[in-house]
A and B are shown apart, each in its own frame.
Chain A
Amino acid sequence: MSARSEKIWNYVILTVMALIVLWPVGTFIAAAVSPDRAGRPSADLQWGNFATAWTNADFARSMTVSLTITVVVVIVGTVLALLGGYAFGVLGVVGDRVLFPVILLGMMISLEAIIVPLYYQFRSLGLTDSLLGVILIHVGMGVPFGVFWMRAAFRALPRAIFESAEMDGAGPLRMLWSIAVPNLMPAVYTFILLSFMWTWNDYFLSLVFLHGDNQTATVALGVFQGRYVTQINLMAAGGLIVAAPVLILYVIFQRRFISGMLAGAIKE
């Protein structure tokens, strides 16, 4: 096979694969702006579908819930990850020979293994159907990855910057905020993006814990599609609304998403 024909075949195969990946997305977008209730594509673009879906599904409420949960989880999670990563990566921790493996274990524990007692315990504490309860679970489940991620980032910093700061008499908190953190903003940004995506995209946890007025956008979308089986165009418009925040971030920060998820998968 000549280099030229090899090159052409490369493009052909990749393009076919790309079309297969984009086919469901494309027809979905076409359906979302179609005036046809069955969602058949049409040249007459109906942008009003988004507004109709927004009101009919009461996305104003559920998107606010999702956004509240996500923002709080991202902020608290990032602070805890920085503190934990700094502790395990720079200061050292009493008992870290036991504690660190215990934290790593958390990356392998799936939600299914803990969801049942979690639900019944939170129910007796009055934390079901409350945003606080779901936020606590998201934050707690995020600690292992956060500590693991930030610890690696802190350890990649040259030790000299800590030593010279220590000579100047900086305390551990000041060293963390004014010296270490500014140096690892790239790692922090990636962590924020991943954490935003995981929290926003969550379905299982919200499905179990939040009902009625506290439904997140993903769960509300699930309910909406059940009620609007005959109005495919509105269902598709609703789907795009819920997917939009993360999608926009992906368009802007593609490299960070990919490199972050890779590093998260390899974890060594």
Chain B
Amino acid sequence: MSIARTGAAVTPETGDGGSATEAIVVRRRRGRTSHARRRARTIGLLFAAPGLLIYAGVVLWPLVQSLQYSFYKWDGISASTWVGFQNYLNFFTDPVLRSTLGNVLVLIVFFAILPIALGLLSAALITSGKRPGMAVYRWIFFLPQVLTSVVIALLFKRMYAPEGPINEALRAIGLDAFAKNWLGDFTWALPAVGLIGTWVTFGFCMVLFIAGASSIPPELYEAARMDGAGPVREFFSVTLPGLRGQIAVALTLTITAALRAFDLIWITTRGGPGTSTLTPAVALYKAAFVNPDVGQAAAIGVVMAILCLIIAVVITRVSERE
């Protein structure tokens, strides 16, 4: 479950068009005609075309079609019927579908809040002074990021099993009463799955914060020391404000990861017991491929995409204020 592929804050304006204007300046200075420039840009279009076409075919076009599908009721085989916004209304009125949003809110605590807190803590500990062995800790904390989600799910299926290591550890210290089938328990399945997300994500947050911390000017730390600040106050008055941007990126990526959680949940609990760990993505998969209600599935996908976009925009805007 590597989370870096989609969903971070993007501001196209900053990067866009720079190459074109630069090219113009350079070429004018060298006395080139605009004809040569136009020719280069045409060749550029030819170069970019194969990638653009495949991208348009498998991403942009299906995106448009998702919208179209979402207004129909269709079982995947027989004729479809137009239902207007019904599929969208279902998402917020159907008790099962609506419950997925509540589950996501709980998952956000485990996928976003906890990993960011742990990431800040470990980043602070690792960067405070150049000590031997820190690279080893970084290697270990980042390790879950490169494991495939199926293997992560299996690791924890075993950890949480009735006779698994967690229950054995509880029994060993005399807490037999707490031992349970974690993933089969209506109350505990969701936090148990959530903790897998914490385990996976915090190392990523940590390296993000370590990278951010290295660009905080050392004078700020010196100034804080002069004022007699200890490591804790230093952290809150210098490090934390300096990491605003990184925290915003981490929040965006981890909250969208919580919203999109599928692999881990599908393999560990399939959304159960009951609907206690059902997420929008699992509901989407079921509606699309298990008991086909294709329009409903498309609508869930569209709502998820819009929510991801809103999350990214809101977090970016808030973090850039001041």
Name A's B-contacting residues (CB within 8 A): 1, 6-7, 10-11, 13-14, 17-18, 20-25, 27-28, 31, 38-39, 80-81, 83-84, 86-97, 99-104, 106-110, 112-121, 136-137, 139-141, 143-147, 151, 155, 159, 163, 172, 176, 197-198, 200-201, 203-204, 207-208, 218-219, 221-222, 225, 232, 235-236, 239-240, 242-243, 246-247, 249-250, 254, 257-258, 261-262, 264-268
A88-B48, A121-B65, A203-B263 known; A107 vs B54 contact (CB < 8 Å): no
Q: B155's closest neighbor in chain A, by CB?
A: A24
A143–B49 Cα distance when bound, in Å, is: 11
Name B's A-contacting residues (CB within 8 A): 2-12, 14-20, 22-23, 26, 30, 37-38, 40-48, 50-52, 54-55, 57-60, 62-63, 65-66, 68-69, 76, 118, 121-122, 125-126, 128-129, 131, 133, 136-151, 154-159, 161, 163, 165, 199, 203-204, 207-208, 211, 230-231, 249, 253, 256, 260, 262-263, 266-267, 280-281, 284-285, 288-289, 294, 297-298, 300-302, 304-305, 308-309, 312
Q: Which of A22, A137, A222, A264 contacts B267 (CB 8 A)?
A: A222
The answer to whether B140 touches A22, judged by C-beta atoms less than 8 angstroms apart, is yes
The answer to whether B16 touches A143, judged by C-beta atoms less than 8 angstroms apart, is no
A83-B50, A114-B62, A143-B54 known; A262 vs B208 contact (CB < 8 Å): yes
The answer to whether A99 touches B52, judged by C-beta atoms less than 8 angstroms apart, is yes
Q: B264's closest neighbor in chain A, by CB?
A: A203
A1-B230, A104-B10, A261-B145 known; A109 vs B150 contact (CB < 8 Å): no
The answer to whether A10 touches B158, judged by C-beta atoms less than 8 angstroms apart, is no
The answer to whether A143 touches B51, judged by C-beta atoms less than 8 angstroms apart, is yes
The answer to whether A101 touches B59, judged by C-beta atoms less than 8 angstroms apart, is no
The answer to whether B17 touches A96, judged by C-beta atoms less than 8 angstroms apart, is yes
The answer to whether B146 touches A247, judged by C-beta atoms less than 8 angstroms apart, is yes
Task: Tell me the dominant secondary structure on chain B's binding face.
Answer: helix
The answer to whether B44 touches A93, judged by C-beta atoms less than 8 angstroms apart, is yes
Q: Which residues of B contact A236 (CB under 8 A)?
A: 154, 158
The answer to whether A91 touches B62, judged by C-beta atoms less than 8 angstroms apart, is no
Q: Which residues of A contact B59 (CB under 8 A)?
A: 106, 109, 114, 140-141, 143-144
A102-B60, A197-B146 known; A94 vs B158 contact (CB < 8 Å): no
The answer to whether A117 touches B66, judged by C-beta atoms less than 8 angstroms apart, is yes
Q: B47's closest neighbor in chain A, by CB?
A: A87
A84–B19 Cα distance when bound, in Å, is: 13
A-B contact pairs, 23 of them (CB 8 A): A10-B131, A14-B126, A84-B47, A90-B19, A91-B23, A94-B38, A95-B45, A107-B6, A109-B63, A110-B7, A110-B304, A115-B288, A117-B66, A117-B68, A172-B40, A201-B149, A204-B263, A219-B150, A235-B154, A242-B150, A246-B147, A261-B204, A266-B208
Q: B163's closest neighbor in chain A, by CB?
A: A38
Distance to closest chain B CB from A71 (angstroms):
17
Distance to closest chain A CB from B299 (angstroms):
9
Q: Which residues of B contact A225 (CB under 8 A)?
A: 154, 157, 267
Q: Which of A21, A94, A232, A247 contacts B41 (CB 8 A)?
A: A94
